[in-house]
Amino acid sequence: MLSEAGFATTLDAATLAAAQHGNSAALETIYRSYERAAFGLALRILGRPAAAEDAVHDSFVRAFEKLGGYRGDAPFGLWLKRLLVNTAIDQLRSEQRWMGSDDEIDQLSASQSRQSNQHEALGLLARLPERARTVVWLHEMEGYSHSEIGALFKQSESWSKSLLARSLERLRRAIQEESTQ
């Protein structure tokens, strides 16, 4: 499932071939074609613009380094998107606060500011801890399976299911609380 329209962009074979041979104009074309979609996805996963910019930068550096190994088995945008998701998750793992317990879903981040429209999905997602937000986004919007999510986080499939269920319940309660105020 490609929820970011920019990742569905068709890349012509000539541009891809030129980029694989290091042509800087072709590399720039690839970057310009996917940068907005990549930033949007990274922001949804990481929740902070500066962290999203870092993930996008690191993803494109990795993509350009690995471009010679791209075989075309999957559409280029999907290949790039998977690389971005892996980079964002690696970034989350490397951050000090990522080391919290699995029960962090029970603690809403006090530093997240409330948005004026609490019912917007992105506003609600921003209120979840990073790990919970990432699992919800990957499963519900990107179409990742629980086994894929578990593997990305080096956890079990049941961990993914449990965290998703608790996160969705937390979102339901937040919506109900906001609608009664």
pLDDT one-digit tens code per residue, 111-136: 333 333 333 566 677 778 888 888 99
The answer to whether the CB of 92 falls within 8 A of the CB of 134 is yes
The answer to whether the CB of 26 falls within 8 A of the CB of 67 is no
Looking at domain 1-99, its CATH class is mainly alpha
Banded pLDDT at 110 (limits 50, 70, 90): very low
Helix axes 24-46, 76-94, angle to 10 degrees: 50
The helix/strand count (H/E) of the chain reads as: 8, 0
User: In 3-14, which positions are buried (b, 16+ CB within 10 angstroms) versus exposed (e)?
Assistant: bbebbebebeee
For residue 160, give Cα distances in angstroms to 45, 53, 91.
15, 26, 19
The residue that leads in pLDDT, 172 or 26, is: 26
Q: Is the pLDDT reported for residue 105 higher than 70?
A: no
CATH 1.10.10 residue ranges of the chain are 101-181
Length of the chain: 181
CATH entry, 101-181, from 1.10.3210, 1.10.10, 3.40.390, 1.10.3470? 1.10.10
Phi-psi label, residue 47: left if phi above 0, alpha if psi -120 to 50, beta otherwise: left
- 0.95 surpassed by pTM: no
CATH 1.10.1740.10 residue ranges of the chain are 1-99
